[in-house]
Amino acid sequence: MKIAVRFYSRSGNTQKVAEAIAKAVGTEAKETAVSVNEPVDLLFLGGSVYWGGIDKNLRAFIESLDPAKVKCVATFGTSALKKEPDREAAKLLSAKGIKVASSAFRCDGAFAAFHKGHPDEADLKAAAAFAKKIIAEQKE
């Protein structure tokens, strides 16, 4: 199964999660500035919430995806106030006709005085477990 990991991260929180996921699935985490040119069975795509929405770089990356080359996307991210996974990326992917995995991963990300030290080791362990669960689902 061909797997890729992409992320957009301003202060490194989502990057840490992306790297934990990449390590768990045996690939490399790359920024969304690196486009997906080869066909992939599964793309883990990470981003965070900024003033209630995802960054324009992440939107542009999603827009650049070729639905013929990307079978399924699993989204992940960090946020400080929002306690459930943000759905904006998933909605944009679905609108492009790209399948979105049944579940998404989200953990706290440090912001100002909130959530200092997050994502922490436990968050990263949970992210790795999420990635393995998604892969197992794809193989079913």
Ligand X SMILES: Cc1cc2nc3c(=O)[nH]c(=O)nc-3n(C[C@H](O)[C@H](O)[C@H](O)COP(=O)(O)O)c2cc1C
Q: Which residues bind ligand X (CB under 6 A)?
A: 9-15, 48-52, 78-82, 109-111
- Using the minimum distance from each CB to ligand X, give the nearer residue, 24 or 46: 46
- Which residue minimizes CB distance to ligand X? 109
Cβ pair 119, 11 in contact under 8 A: no
In angstroms, give the least distance from the CB of 80 to ligand X: 4
Cβ pair 93, 62 in contact under 8 A: yes
**Which SS3 state, helix, strand or coil, does residue 14 take?**
helix
- Render 99-138 in DSSP notation, one character per residue: EE-S--EEEE--BTTBSTT-S-HHHHHHHHHHHHHHHHHH
- Using the minimum distance from each CB to ligand X, give the nearer residue, 15 or 32: 15
- Using the minimum distance from each CB to ligand X, give the nearer residue, 116 or 132: 116
In angstroms, give the least distance from the CB of 16 to ligand X: 8
- Using the minimum distance from each CB to ligand X, give the nearer residue, 13 or 32: 13
In the block, tokens 């013929």 appear at 68
Amino acid at 128: A
In angstroms, give the least distance from the CB of 10 to ligand X: 3
